[in-house]
Amino acid sequence: MHDFRCWWRMARAQARSQMQYRFNFAAMIISMVLTYGGQFVNLFWVTERFKTIGGWRLEEVVLLYSMAILAWGVAVSFFFNLQGFEEQIRSGTFDRALLRPMNPLLHVLGSQSPIGGIGQFVFSIAAFTFAFNATGLSLTPVKLIYVVLTALGGGLILGAAMISVATLAFWTTRTYTFYWSIVYPARQLVNYPVSIYHRALQLVLTFVVPFAFINYFPAHVLLERTSELTLPALAWGTPVVGVVIITVVYGFWKWGTRFYTGTGS
């Protein structure tokens, strides 16, 4: 608990610091909403051209997209600082995390503001509202709880991917390319139904880089289409998968720290 209290104090201080520049903070939120709004327009154009995408109508694809953005908002709030972790390795500032009396990973995560994902949350809520109204589905309390658990589980899956890439910096020093060539493309793939891809890629997105659990499988629960899945139980697995994979990846992180020697800079 001591480590989490320290993390919370550091993250809260970062949030207060960020809120000192309120115009910049508001501009950031607006820019995020506009960015995702532009992607929404792209989804609309594609669906309008082909009517459906792999049998999924516009509102159903928007539901997929909103779930992906919601999980990304969770990941951005807690893990996005890891995207630039290579700089801490190159500059040697990671030494501070090893010297201070708290968990090194939480120390790294605590050096960012936890309110960074607000733009994603604002957009995803608006997209959810549109999707549910368009599909005529009702958001029951059970489904609402499931959405929250799925967002947290999806955030952990994305966070695990970020931790994995950041851990590679202990050997390679530079990891920025890994993020943009592996994590980002895989995250973009799940903006659309996973079923439209080749069977091999579906297996990768389910069992190797389990991004399909972020939105594709859970969407079947919300749309009441779990019977369409080969393994319907997968639709309920996101929270469990998130906890399991973040636990495994944390073990990888701890193993990687043993190889940290600094760069001498």
Domain parsing of the chain, residue ranges: 2-257
Closest alpha carbon to 260 in 110, 105, 156: 105
Both tokens assigned to 76: 């951005």
* Per-residue model confidence (pLDDT) at position 162: 93
Q: Spell out the residues 6+ positions from residue 210 whose beta carbon is closer than 8 angstroms to its own.
A: 157, 241, 245
- Whether the per-residue pLDDT at 155 is higher than 60: the answer is yes
| Contact by Cβ (8 Å): 162, 86 | no
- Residue 124, phi-psi category: left (phi > 0), alpha (psi -120 to 50), beta (remainder): alpha
* Per-residue model confidence (pLDDT) at position 256: 93
SS3 content of the chain, % helix, strand, coil (to 5): 80, 0, 20
CA 5 distance to own-chain centroid: 23
- pLDDT tens by residue, 93-151: 888 888 888 899 998 888 877 776 777 888 888 888 888 887 777 778 888 899 999 99
Higher-confidence residue of 195 and 137: namely: 195
Q: What does pLDDT average to over the chain?
A: 85
Both tokens assigned to 198: 């080749």
- Whether the per-residue pLDDT at 265 is higher than 70: the answer is no
Q: What is the C-alpha to C-alpha distance for residues 254 and 218, in angstroms, rounded to an integer?
A: 31
* Per-residue model confidence (pLDDT) at position 92: 83
Both tokens assigned to 66: 């909103």
- pLDDT tens by residue, 2-43: 777 887 777 777 777 766 767 776 777 777 777 777 777 777
| Contact by Cβ (8 Å): 67, 146 | no
- Whether the per-residue pLDDT at 85 is higher than 70: the answer is yes
Give percent above pLDDT 70 in the chain: 96
Q: What is the C-alpha to C-alpha distance for residues 230 and 124, in angstroms, rounded to an integer?
A: 28
Rounded to 10°, the helix 2-19/22-50 angle is: 90
Both tokens assigned to 93: 């500032």
